[in-house]
Amino acid sequence: MADTSKRTRKRQVIIEILNMHVDPAPELDLTDGTYVSYFENALGEQWVFVRSDGSDHGTVYGGDLGWEGHEVRFRTAKEIRAEFSQQGARKSMIEQLIAVANPDPLVPTLVLQSEEKAWLNTAWWTSCRAADREAELDALAEWISEQVPAEILRKHPNTTEYRAARQTLALLTGRAAGIRGMDDAAMSTLYSNVLNA
């Protein structure tokens, strides 16, 4: 039997991924405690998400985007409108864009496919510290509640509009919880936060 007490811990590469894009891949600073997630879709488009331990934001790099880094953090609908307006778009155009595209609150300026959104949302949630998840649930609840006009929820509970609005909130909550890989307790907390928002 080998004596394991004499073994020294040796760091070794677990996985090596080749850059399939023309542009050179980014130089990533992967210090201890850095969360890294990799995604490649069926078309070979590569994505890397990096977040330092305890940071309020991360960075996503996409091979089809020239490996340019994009800040990942949770944004409210109001912040998204402000970011789009800074790009010079007209207000009515901004509202239409937000309504049609339903931009992701993590990176509203990127157009992501559904599987890319699901991956990024899961990576974001997974990279959150347990202590920060309550704040994340509150921010997510605020985002979900902004998707339904508040005046509809003030209507009588027996109206079709009210019931449809509640069903929409439940659906959005379930979808948000599902793509983040939340357990039942976190999803229940999220739905309570949505109703209180």
**Could you tell me if residue 160 is inside a domain?**
yes
The structure tokens listed for 138 are 């509150």
Confirm whether 71 is domain-assigned: no
Q: Vertex 32, ends 26 and 37: CA angle to 5°?
A: 50
Rounded Cα–Cα distance for residues 68 and 24 (Å): 10
List the structure tokens of 48. Answer: 């890397």
Report the chain (197 residues): mean pLDDT per 10 consecutive residues.
Answer: 62 83 87 90 94 92 93 84 72 62 78 89 90 86 86 88 91 88 90 90
pLDDT of residue 48: 96
CA distances from 189 to 32, 50, 129, 141, 147 (A): 31, 27, 17, 9, 18
As for how many domains the chain has, the answer is 1
Residue at 40 is within a domain:
no
Structure tokens at 181: 């890989």
Residue 144: which domain range?
Answer: 128-197
Domain membership flag for residue 152:
yes
Is there a domain that residue 192 lies in?
A: yes
Is residue 58 assigned to a domain?
no
pTM, two decimals, is: 0.75
Cβ atoms of 153 and 144 closer than 8 Å: no
Closest alpha carbon to 124 in 79, 44, 60: 60
Beta strands in the chain (DSSP E): 35-40, 46-51, 58-62, 69-72
